[in-house]
Chains A and B, each alone.
Chain A
């Protein structure tokens, strides 16, 4: 459980996070989505106390992160895959992290095995590829078997097998009642992994809702029809609240009517339809819609803020 209240961060004059309030609940995967410089990383760093908030507060599992007696058991965080001393081996890095909480060597070997690092564990972390670095970061996050997992762009640089593994892992952990908060710029990935979505833009929360609502709410359902009698059908369907769009020959995109209503009208008028496909709005569309609104809405204040806030990794 993560609860942020009016959380804000300024770097000098630049506003990175402009007073956000949200909560991340246990038992589900919460995605954190936003364009570069939107304040995702800054927000995540403030949760574990790496960045000091300019205003507001954030608590994890009931109290500020630093007040916990066993921080690594409360929160596992992957904020920066390169948060490792380059000359130290992956094994020794994890061993040093584990030692702070008296976590056993057995657990260290367990997370190495889990993240598929066994073969390179004794090698210097500085020589790791981006993907291997991510795996090491995830291994470190899992060390304390934490109640809350915070992952900043976890699939960045991972191979398809790794992406699938992370997806299954976070779903499994959420299924066990843990809180999972992950950011990603890959919206298709988010659509497959997250149950709930918090969208951030220019340091402000734009949307905070179940992912289904975000996709459904922003876009009317459209239906694609293919028929040889497109123009005739268009006349029959036209009406209040219905929009029609024909981009290709023998194809019509309809919104305002569902597939069932269209089929009924076609049958009643003896029009032959050879395709009737409901088109679900993709998360991409919903997302661009959301952020477009945000930018338009704030365009006047944008000019004053003096450019984009730092992404700050």
Chain B
């Protein structure tokens, strides 16, 4: 190689641009997300469904409180108990754990987990399926910035959709609960943390989804594992708690969906695991999938 040829190779090209930047990669991933009609439809459907289920939850809990007020909260609903002898506040306190009113904005969270988690799997697995990943990794040969940008786009989108949907659900639940004589407001204990942590929880699920899509490189497989992890595993571990022995009793509390859900109950409900600990366990679950995903993405041929 002569010096003149190297000099030629070093001349800046006329296509402009500042070279590869992380901001550029982020923008690229955002364009990818919004330029697929299927994704846009799915996001709008998720938003509507989460609010719909949340509204239904508000109405259901209102009904339960109404019933409790009528029958005085007696669990058997004995006719001897004094009718309408209970205030809404008192009736509310008799709600079984898990049905507290502060959880209403997150009533549709499971839908959000299912769809946004699947979308996260697809965000990368579809690139492997179509071959797009080769274009992506040619433009971003270090690979990890592409993964990081995908993760950030997914975290922000899932967080915003979940939190906004939760606030809309909250607003809708005000008149519904009012008709049952209950006042719903932002000052309600645990409400705001539940809304914001709900967004984090779904964002965390999206990270697990992205990692599964990266590890398995297969849309159907990734979504199946995600569903198994969040919707089948908790049932399995619940059955395990019936096995004699102290060890099995609390296994259920450690699965990602239960630990992650526990995180939303800050200051509430005594359970084996503290909400903070629940959050940390969930974080550990994210890393269990994220770290191998990052490692294999860097290592493997695409």
B131 touches A50 (CB 8 A): no
Q: Is B139 interfacial (CB 8 A cutoff)?
A: yes
A84 touches B132 (CB 8 A): yes
A27 touches B138 (CB 8 A): no
B135 touches A83 (CB 8 A): yes
B24 touches A101 (CB 8 A): yes
B20 touches A100 (CB 8 A): yes
Interface string of A30-71 (1 = CB under 8 A from B): 000000000000000100111110000000011001101111
Q: Is A97 interfacial (CB 8 A cutoff)?
A: yes
| Complex alpha-carbon distance, A144 and B13, angstroms | 7
For B22, the closest partner residue in chain A by CB is: A100
Which residues of chain A come closer than 8 Å to B20, judged between CB atoms?
A: 68-72, 100-101
A99 touches B9 (CB 8 A): no
Secondary structure dominating the interface of B: helix
Q: Is B6 interfacial (CB 8 A cutoff)?
A: yes
Which residues of chain A come closer than 8 Å to B10, judged between CB atoms?
A: 61
Interface centre among A73, A92, A100 (most CB of B within 10 A): A100
Q: Is B18 interfacial (CB 8 A cutoff)?
A: yes
Q: Is B76 interfacial (CB 8 A cutoff)?
A: no
| Complex alpha-carbon distance, A102 and B11, angstroms | 18
Interface string of B121-165 (1 = CB under 8 A from A): 000001100111111011111100000000000000000000000
B9 touches A102 (CB 8 A): no
A102 touches B17 (CB 8 A): yes
Q: Is B187 interfacial (CB 8 A cutoff)?
A: no
| Complex alpha-carbon distance, A70 and B12, angstroms | 10
Q: Is B270 interfacial (CB 8 A cutoff)?
A: no
For B10, the closest partner residue in chain A by CB is: A61
| Complex alpha-carbon distance, A194 and B9, angstroms | 20
Q: Name the distance in Å between B232's Cβ and chain A's nearest Cβ.
A: 29
Q: Is A96 interfacial (CB 8 A cutoff)?
A: yes
Q: A84-B132, A96-B32, A100-B24 are in contact. Are A48 and B138 (CB under 8 A)?
A: yes
Which residues of chain B come closer than 8 Å to A26, judged between CB atoms?
A: 5, 8-9
| Complex alpha-carbon distance, A75 and B20, angstroms | 13
Q: Is B36 interfacial (CB 8 A cutoff)?
A: yes
Q: Is A146 interfacial (CB 8 A cutoff)?
A: yes
| Complex alpha-carbon distance, A84 and B36, angstroms | 13
Q: Is B242 interfacial (CB 8 A cutoff)?
A: no
Q: Name the distance in Å between A110's Cβ and chain B's nearest Cβ.
A: 8
Interface centre among B35, B134, B139 (most CB of A within 10 A): B139
Q: Is B245 interfacial (CB 8 A cutoff)?
A: no
A102 touches B135 (CB 8 A): no
Which residues of chain B come closer than 8 Å to A69, judged between CB atoms?
A: 19-20
Q: Is B27 interfacial (CB 8 A cutoff)?
A: yes
Q: Is A292 interfacial (CB 8 A cutoff)?
A: no
Contacting residues of chain B (247-302) with chain A, CB-CB under 8 angstroms: 299-302
Interface string of A75-118 (1 = CB under 8 A from B): 10101101111111100110111111111100100000000000
A61 touches B9 (CB 8 A): yes
Q: A26-B9, A85-B36, A96-B32 are in contact. Are A104 and B138 (CB under 8 A)?
A: no
A49 touches B28 (CB 8 A): no
Out of A61, A99, A107, which one reaches B15, CB within 8 Å?
A107
Q: Is B109 interfacial (CB 8 A cutoff)?
A: no
B131 touches A82 (CB 8 A): yes
Interface string of B85-106 (1 = CB under 8 A from A): 0000000000000000000000
Closest 3 CB pairs of A and B: A70-B19, A145-B15, A92-B35
Q: A49-B137, A97-B135, A103-B16 provided; 12 other pairs, C-beta below 8 A?
A: A50-B302, A51-B301, A66-B142, A70-B20, A73-B17, A88-B36, A97-B28, A99-B25, A103-B17, A107-B16, A145-B13, A177-B8
The contact sample of 27 A-B pairs, CB cut-off 8 A, is: A1-B1, A1-B6, A23-B1, A27-B5, A50-B134, A51-B301, A65-B141, A69-B19, A71-B20, A71-B140, A73-B19, A83-B134, A84-B131, A85-B132, A98-B17, A99-B28, A99-B31, A100-B27, A100-B28, A100-B139, A101-B17, A101-B18, A101-B20, A101-B24, A144-B15, A147-B9, A147-B13
